[in-house]
Amino acid sequence: MGAVCPCIGRTEERDLAVQSSITEVQPSKSEAKRLKKLEKKELQKGQFGQKKRDKKKEQKQRRQGARHELLAAMSQEERDAFIAKEKAAQQVQQAEEQASLQLAFDSGAPKVVVNCSFADSMDYKELTSLAKQCQLSYTAVRDLRSPVQLHLASLSPDNPGMYALDKVGYQKWLVHTHPESVWDLFEPDQLVVLSPDAEMDLDEVRSDRIYVIGGLVDRTIQRNQTKAQAESRGNVTLRKLPIKSLGPPGMFPVLNIDVVVSILHERFIRGPDSSWRDILLHCMPQRQHPGPSRQVLRKERAKMRKEGMTEEQIAAAMGADAGSDNQSDGAASNDSDVSDGEEAEPQVPDLRQGTDIEVVGFGFAKIISLGRVPQGKHQGKYKIRYNDDGSLYHVLPEQFRVVTAVQPAET
C-alpha cells in the first residue's frame, strides 16, 4: 500500500468541513424548535390518517363478516330469496331517489346556490374539501328527498376547483352548474347571502328566494369573505344562521356547506313557526352533540365488545342517540379548522379548571379545560362536566354564567 501524504487527508477534511458549513446552515434555536414541532405535527397527522383508514377497513371487514355469517346460516333457498329481496329494495330506493332529484332539478324551490368564485383563494386541500362538501350537499338533497334546487355558480373551465369536482364526479349529478357568477345569474333582490359574519339572523326560508352559500373552506380562519363579496355588490340581503342566539350550547358558529344546505331544507320543510333550536340540534355535526364525546362512546363500545356483547346488544345498551362506530360525520361534518375569530382566545381570563358554572337552560357544571382542536389551537370553547350526570360538553363562554370562580394560583 503506498503512503498517503497526511496533508491530503487534512485538506479533504477541511474541504468537507467547509462544504458542510455551506450546505448545512445551522438553524437558530427557535427555528430548530419550530421545525421539530412542525415535523411532529406532520407525523401525527399522517398517523391519524392511517389510523382512520385502518379503522374504516376494519369496520368494513366486520360488516362483511356479519353479512357472511348471516348468509351462511341460511339454506340456499332462503339465501336466494334474501338477496333478491335486498336487490328489489335497493332498486325501489334508487328509483325514488332519482325521481326526487329530477323533480328538484326541474321545478324545485327554494334555489340554493353554492358560490364557487372563491376557489382562487384556496389551496389544494381546501379545494378537495370544497368538492367533498358539494358532494355531501347533493347527497343530503337526495337522501332527504328535498325540494331544494341546487346550483353551482362560477364553474368556468378555468376555476381551480374544477379538477376536485371532476374527481367526485359532479358531471353526473342532477344539479344546475353555471360558468357565470351568482351575481350575473339572478336578480339581486331575490338573493339571501348567508354569512356567519352577517349582522342579522335568518328567519324564514321562502320558496321565492335564492339562498347563496359561499363555496369556501377556510382551514385557517378568514372571516368576512362571503360578507365582503356580497357587500361589494351593493344592497344585498345578508343573513347568518341563528346559532349564537338560538342554537344549542356547544354548536360551532361556522358550518360546512352541506350542513347549511340541510338546515335550509329543514327550516323550509318545517315552516316559519318551527323551532330553530330543534332544527340546529337536528343538523348539528355529530361530534358537537351534547353528551359524552365520540371518544368516550368508542371506548365504551370497545369495552362492551371485549366483554363479548354483540353489535345489537351494544347498540341497544348505548341508545339510538349515542351513534355508532360506523357513523360518518356525513352531512353534518365540519372538517374545516375554521373558528370564529371572536372566540379564538379565552375571553374571560378568570375562567379556569374547576370554575363552577351554569349553562343557561341546561344546568350546573364544572370547567374541565379550555377546549382545543386536535392541533392544539385554542377554539375558545370550554370543556365542561355536568354535575348531575357527569356528561362532557364543549361550550362557548356566552352560553354560561359563572357561579363561583376559582382564585388564580399565585405566581
Amino acid at 371: G
Reduce the DSSP state of residue 378 to 3 states and report it: strand
Beta carbon of residue 230, minimum distance to ligand SAM (angstroms, whole number): 9
CA 242, 243, 248: angle at the middle one, nearest 5?
130
117: CB partners within 8 A, 6+ apart: 153, 154, 181, 182, 215, 229
Q: Candidates 42-50, 88-96, 223-231, 346-354: pick the segment binding ligand SAM (CB under 6 A).
A: 223-231
Q: Candidates 81-89, 150-158, 235-243, 267-275: pick the segment binding ligand SAM (CB under 6 A).
A: 235-243
- Interface with ligand SAM (CB under 6 A), residue from 241, 251, 297, 357: 241
Residue 137 interacts with ligand SAM (CB under 6 A): yes or no: no
Q: Which helix (H) or strand (E) holds 223?
A: none
Q: Which is nearer to ligand SAM, 211 or 351 (CB)?
A: 211
Beta carbon of residue 294, minimum distance to ligand SAM (angstroms, whole number): 21
Contact 296, 392 (CB under 8 A): yes
- Cβ neighbours around 104 below 10 Å, total: 20
Q: Which is nearer to ligand SAM, 223 or 372 (CB)?
A: 223
Residue 255 interacts with ligand SAM (CB under 6 A): yes or no: yes
Q: Which helix (H) or strand (E) holds 63?
A: helix 29-72
For 242, the grid coordinates are 341563528
Q: Which of 287, 232, 231 is nearest to 256 (CA)?
A: 287
Q: Which helix (H) or strand (E) holds 231?
A: helix 225-231
Q: Candidates 8-16, 210-218, 303-311, 403-411: pick the segment binding ligand SAM (CB under 6 A).
A: 210-218
Q: Taking the chain, what is the end-to-end CA distance rounded to the nearest angstrom?
A: 71
Residue 280 interacts with ligand SAM (CB under 6 A): yes or no: no
Contact 108, 148 (CB under 8 A): yes
- Interface with ligand SAM (CB under 6 A), residue from 195, 333, 379, 399: 195
Q: Which is nearer to ligand SAM, 242 or 304 (CB)?
A: 242
What Rg, from alpha-carbon coordinates, does the chain have?
Answer: 27
Q: Candidates 62-70, 237-245, 274-282, 301-309: pick the segment binding ligand SAM (CB under 6 A).
A: 237-245
One DSSP character per residue, 240-271 reads B-THHHHSPTT--SS--HHHHHHHHHHHHHH-
Which residue sits closest to ligand SAM, CB atoms considered? 214
Q: Give bridge partners of residue 211 from the DSSP assignment.
A: 112, 192
- Interface with ligand SAM (CB under 6 A), residue from 104, 136, 194, 283: 194
Q: Candidates 15-23, 166-174, 239-247, 321-329: pick the segment binding ligand SAM (CB under 6 A).
A: 239-247
- Interface with ligand SAM (CB under 6 A), residue from 112, 182, 216, 283: 216
Q: Which is nearer to ligand SAM, 214 or 290 (CB)?
A: 214
For 269, the grid coordinates are 320543510
Residue 225 interacts with ligand SAM (CB under 6 A): yes or no: yes
Q: Candidates 10-18, 35-43, 86-94, 214-222: pick the segment binding ligand SAM (CB under 6 A).
A: 214-222
Q: What is the largest CA-CA distance in the chain?
A: 99
- Interface with ligand SAM (CB under 6 A), residue from 149, 159, 226, 339: 226
Residue 131 interacts with ligand SAM (CB under 6 A): yes or no: no
Q: Which helix (H) or strand (E) holds 383?
A: strand 378-386
Q: Which is nearer to ligand SAM, 146 or 195 (CB)?
A: 195
Alpha-carbon span 240 to 230, nearest angstrom = 13
Beta carbon of residue 116, minimum distance to ligand SAM (angstroms, whole number): 11
Q: Which of 81, 61, 57, 59 is nearest to 71 (CA)?
A: 81
What's the DSSP call for residue 288?
G
Residue 254 interacts with ligand SAM (CB under 6 A): yes or no: yes
- Residues 340-369: x where in contact with ligand SAM by CB under 6 A, - otherwise, as a string: ------------------------------
| Residues near ligand SAM, by CB under 6 A | 194-196, 213-214, 216-218, 222-226, 240-241, 243, 253-255, 257, 260, 336, 338
